[in-house]
Amino acid sequence: MRKPAIVFLICATAIFFAACGANNPPSTPNQNPTKNTPEPPKDDIPASVKSAFPDVQSITKQQKEIPADDIKHIEEELNVKITEKNHTSYTAFKNEGGTRKQIGAATIVKAGDKELLVIYESKKGEPHFKEVRADGIPAPFLAQFKNKGHDDKLEIGKDLKAESVDTATANSIASALRLDVAIMTSLYGKGHDH
């Protein structure tokens, strides 16, 4: 009588384990155990922006649509045509005394074939250039933009000099920065009339 009970238990156990394993694919020695682990979100903060803010806790990418009225005003004021209605900026934050504090912002701007990293700080609620970086452009030329903002002319021959940069490139950079600071002011500045 004991033999049939033992056989029954062995068969029942085998059927139970077979049923439990039926829903799982067979494992192979080379199978990656983390295959079903979700991938972390892709970091879409450019390395150049990260290098501008090495000591911050976080950098947030912001994409904002420029309001139609602001586009019209900027186009009239700067005599340009804005073709991209969305603007991308990167805001840097640092924790100080348990409080999250914005310490700056950056944008990446195209000027002809040059890519500029524009680092902003706030002065009286308005964005101002803290630093402008670009490969192949002499530092003395780029340093002229420091502390300038929307209310500055940003024109070669007026408040800027070409400083070892050909005039066409200097004008292209100044024009691109004039447009970017106008957009940053419209999106993030406290606003003022001229």
Over residues 76-100, the pLDDT tens digits come to 999 999 999 999 999 999 998 889 9
Residue 21 belongs to a domain: no
Give strand pairing partners of 59.
Answer: 92
Residue 40 belongs to a domain: no
Q: What is the pLDDT of residues 131-168, one digit of tens each?
A: 999 999 999 999 999 999 999 999 999 999 998 999 99
Element (H, E) at 182: helix 167-188
User: Which two structure tokens, joined as six digits, stand for 63?
Assistant: 């994409």
Residue 173 belongs to a domain: yes
Segments forming the whole domain that contains residue 73 = 47-188
pLDDT value at 34 more than 60: no
How crowded is the C-beta side of 5, counted as CA atoms within 13 Å?
2
The percent of residues in the chain predicted with pLDDT above 70, rounded, is: 76
pLDDT value at 28 more than 70: no
pLDDT for 3 equals: 57
Give strand pairing partners of 128.
Answer: 121, 149
Q: Is 81 exposed, middle or buried (0-12, 13-18, 19+ CB in 10 A)?
A: exposed
pLDDT value at 54 more than 60: yes
pLDDT value at 182 more than 50: yes
pLDDT for 103 equals: 94
User: Which two structure tokens, joined as six digits, stand for 104?
Assistant: 């700056």
Please give the Cα distance from 22 to 85 (Å, whole number): 55
**Domain count across the chain:** 1
Backbone dihedral angles phi then psi of residue 85, each to the nearest 5 degrees: -80, -15
pLDDT for 190 equals: 78
Residue 17 belongs to a domain: no
